[in-house]
Amino acid sequence: MQVRMLTAAGYGFISALLLSCSIHAKKLQKAGSPQGTDCTQIWKLTPQASSGVYVIQPAGVKTHFKVYCEMRLDGGWTVFQKRSGGNVSFNRKWEAYKNGFGNQTRDHWLGLKKVFLLTKNKSMKWTMRVDLWDHEGGTAYAEYKNFRLKNEKAAFKLHVGKYTGNAGDAIRGAYPGINQDGYSFSTVDRDNDGCSPCIFGDIAETECALSQGGGWWYSKCGSASLNGEWHPTGEHIGWSSGLHWLTWKPPAPYSAKASQMMIKSV
Ligand SMILES: [Ca+2]
């Protein structure tokens, strides 16, 4: 009897040990060596993988780096922009937008160079998705086929293909002449916005990154700008610098409560 009790206790101990090892293994899985070429591949290899930070090494690239993977029913998405509050400032210069900033489990910008490294392989195609949350509990999205960025020499020029969604195609703009597709990235210290100056009514605009905030593919400014200043509920309408997607919430500049931008390889 005594032996049996000991055996049972021993079995319980081993079970606990195995459980602890399994939890530890799950943690290890998300750190250290590369888990895949991107979040989509990780999701395909392990469909039950949970959302979180993973290490990836893009196809044909020598370096590996951490990204936040948003695992959804329609695939694994590599997140490159997340806004949900005012703790992380997006009012930063070229080097910061190039290399990334923030906390990947919270608000962050992955970095243009990493997004370029992911999308530079011409044999792969990427879908880019923008998720938006308003201050009234509503959501909207925009998806673009054939998303890619050019290299730093081309100032990370944006390319997007066909739009689908219910937020409107703000990248191509709420009116003609402000299409951001084919435009280079601008920051306060790197002006590629096409304004020298732009005339909006009685305002002469020379630098969109100064008035709209943060860095973006400003095209004579344009209708999309999700890296501006974050504004809390109740103070979210009327700011020139905000989280704008003006085909979704026109005409007074409406600053979204939260946003997320991410890519999926297809
Ligand atoms: Ca300018």
Q: Are 39 and 54 in contact (CB under 8 A)?
A: yes
Q: 190 CA to middle of ligand 1, Å?
A: 9
pLDDT digits (tens, 9 = 90+) for 185-235: 999 999 999 999 999 889 999 999 999 999 999 999 999 999 999 999 999
In a domain, 23, yes or no: no
Q: What is the pLDDT of residue 36?
A: 95
Q: What is the CATH number of the domain that holds 151?
A: 3.90.215.10
Q: 23 CA to middle of ligand 1, Å?
A: 52
Q: 213 CA to middle of ligand 1, Å?
A: 13
Residue 14 has pLDDT above 60, yes or no: no
Q: Within 10 A of 237 (CB to CB), how many other CB atoms are there? A: 13
Band of pLDDT at residue 33, cut at 50, 70 and 90: confident
In a domain, 191, yes or no: yes
Q: 226 CA to middle of ligand 1, Å?
A: 19
In a domain, 185, yes or no: yes
Q: Are 232 and 135 in contact (CB under 8 A)?
A: no
In a domain, 18, yes or no: no
pLDDT digits (tens, 9 = 90+) for 131-142: 999 999 999 999
Q: 37 CA to middle of ligand 1, Å?
A: 37
Q: 185 CA to middle of ligand 1, Å?
A: 12
Range of the domain at 77: 29-265
Q: 203 CA to middle of ligand 1, Å?
A: 14
pLDDT digits (tens, 9 = 90+) for 57-103: 999 999 999 999 999 999 999 999 999 999 999 999 999 999 999 99
In a domain, 5, yes or no: no
Q: 151 CA to middle of ligand 1, Å?
A: 21
Model pTM?
Answer: 0.88
pLDDT digits (tens, 9 = 90+) for 108-133: 999 999 999 999 998 999 999 999 99
In a domain, 21, yes or no: no
Q: How many domains does the chain have?
A: 1
**Mean pLDDT for the chain?**
91
156/33: higher pLDDT: 156
Q: 200 CA to middle of ligand 1, Å?
A: 14
In a domain, 92, yes or no: yes
